[in-house]
Chain A
Amino acid sequence: MLAVSVALTGVLCVAMLLGLSVGSSGSSISTVVSILTGSNPTDSMASSIIWQIRLPRVFLAALVGATLSLGGLVFQALLRNPLAEPYILGISGGSAVGAIIGILAGLSRFPGVSLTSFAGSMITLGLILMISFGQTLIKKESILLSGVMINSFCSAAIMFLISMTQDSRLHNIMFWLMGDLSMADMHQIAILAACLLPCFVLIFWLSHTMNILLMGKELAQTMGVNVKLVTLALLATTSFMVSATVSSCGLLGFVGLVMPHLLRLLLGPDHRVLVPACLLGGGAYMVFCDLLARAIPEQGEMPAGVITAMIGAPLFIILLKKTKR
């Protein structure tokens, strides 16, 4: 477990260094290192680009990737299905409806749109819990089905709102729907991190319980697990942290599906290993995708969600074929 953590931390650091050195004005890795260590105070232009533009962005990407991967991992354990992810429950859909309403109302990106989007996802989560509460809470099918229905409803609502919009706000909406890390500033990231870190700790604390939950609710119960309480705690925590990231940077698909799956294939199914691995690996993957999103277009950049989906979908099919064998 220690070796895995060290290796993945290494990967994350390399991805972050690369992420810092890529951008429209360019910088070599050695320049980045010298600026970060403060041994090159002369180049103030490059210095401020790296400290004020790229570093927040790389941090945000790492944080978001870590959260989405961990969210996928938890949902796969809760639904006892290696192919689940938080987006499937409609939390992203609710978040998107909230964000679009915020954009249409002309609110500022932060905190305005973030808050409406967060409210949207919390309303969806409340709905899902209300529909599937009580006896059926632990029945994975009922959670899954109500989630799929709510997601479809949200998609329809998004399409409705988009078709009613014609001005420049449409571009804003589309960019948000495809996932966008460009608005990062350190203040916003600090708030996000303060929300997320306690969630990470709680989930790691429950990682062995997730292993036991995979054996079914009755068996878990006879092994001393309070199944209802743990399920509810994991569902609420994960939904909270996923909506926090979605509300700050839009929809980034496939990260929550691909990373837990890939890491499980490499490291086995023990959640005590997979929780830290998903945090580090998912962070590195997202930083890498964002790096491509900035490097590929000659001018400007493309939404990072385009890259995560374009890499994620084929990768996922390959992983699926590997597991089936």
Chain B
Amino acid sequence: MNAINAINASALTYAYGQSSVLNDISFSVRKSDFFIIIGPNGSGKTTLMKILAGIERPASGTVEIMNRPLRGYSRKDLARIVAFVPQTVSMDFPFTVLEVVLMGRSPHLGMLGLHERKDLDIAVQALAFTGVEHLAGRSIAQLSGGERQRVFIARAICQEPDVIFLDEPTAALDLAHQVRVMDLMEKMKHEKGITVVMVSHDVNLAAMYGDQLLLIKEGKIVSLGRPDEVLTFETLETAYGCTLLVDESPMGKVPRVTLVPRKFMNADRR
């Protein structure tokens, strides 16, 4: 019951049939934090995020968003405070960018989603915020992966949420777009006070941007804390089961993780 927490998760478990995916997971996310969930493939990190976002239901345990249990929200109420950005969205239907972003207003509108001037303004601001206002009239089907990702982030912003969940938003992007999307998340946190919860595979991006990291393996928490607390040689080796080099990033006081290919390990021994 902490007023400064956006999310309280307690004793979450989840299973696909017989196999357990999440096992007794409890943690909190502070308001306006950039919270990044990392872990190896199949560790349950995406499932965990979907439970937090209300997409999946846990087998047991509770989630509180803004100090109110997830089950206490109606679908529409929840959609007014929580937004979700999937890894990719396949769209064969030629909606324009503005139409897609305006759909983000739906939880605030009636059944037919008829928008007013105010909603249009919010959509245009969201487009400007993510730097895609020049694409407003283009068809979503014609955009590149990076542009499309920013459009769907603008759509999430248009929902005016308190918490935004992202599922590996940088996984399919080139280097420039990765930085762009991550910078955008940071700007969102600073300027709008939105809590950002992201699942990521990239421990270095997580180190540079995350306020708090949650490292999980086989559905259990390995480590939770600031990047320099979580990204240590020992915890990473425990979680990923491979040798990694951890030193300080040339950009300042965050850890840097380097992969060590087998041929270099052999060279050391020689």
Contact = CB atoms under 8 A, between A and B. Distances in A.
Check if A and B associate: yes
Interface of A: 80-82, 205-209, 211-212, 214-216, 218-219, 221-226, 264, 268-270, 272
Interface of B: 50, 53-55, 74-76, 78-80, 82-84, 86, 89-96, 99-100, 103-104, 106-107, 111-113, 159, 165
Contacts of A264: 93-94
B55 A218 contact: yes
Contacts of A269: 93-95
Contacts of B93: 80, 82, 214, 264, 269
B131 to A, nearest CB: 21
Given A223-B159, A224-B106, A226-B75, A215 B83 contact: no
Given A218-B50, A268-B94, A269-B95, 15 more contacts: A80-B90, A208-B106, A211-B95, A214-B91, A218-B86, A219-B89, A221-B75, A222-B82, A223-B107, A224-B74, A224-B79, A268-B95, A268-B96, A270-B99, A272-B113
Contacts of B91: 214-215
A163 to B, nearest CB: 40
B113 A208 contact: yes
B84 A219 contact: yes
Contacts, number: 78
Contacts of A219: 84, 86, 89
A211 B113 contact: yes
B6 to A, nearest CB: 16
9 contacts: A80-B93, A205-B111, A205-B112, A211-B103, A223-B79, A224-B80, A225-B75, A268-B94, A268-B95
A157 B80 CA distance: 52
A270 B102 CA distance: 12
Contact of A222 (B55, B90, B111, B113): B55
Nearest to B104: A223
Contact of A81 (B92, B94, B99): B92
Contacts of A216: 86, 89-90
B112 A272 contact: yes
Nearest to A206: B111
B200 to A, nearest CB: 18
A98 B118 CA distance: 54
Nearest to A83: B92
B172 to A, nearest CB: 15
Name which of B78, B89, B106 has the most chain A CB atoms within 10 A of its CB: B106
A272 B112 CA distance: 7
A191 to B, nearest CB: 29
Contacts of A223: 79, 103-104, 106-107, 159
Nearest to A265: B94
Contacts of A205: 111-112
A222 B94 CA distance: 22
B106 A222 contact: no
A221 B100 CA distance: 16
A269 B165 CA distance: 27
Contacts of A214: 91, 93, 95
A212 B106 contact: yes
A222 B84 contact: yes
Contacts of B94: 264, 268-269
Nearest to B109: A208
B112 A222 contact: no
Given A215-B103, A216-B86, A216-B89, A222 B76 contact: no
A224 B81 CA distance: 11
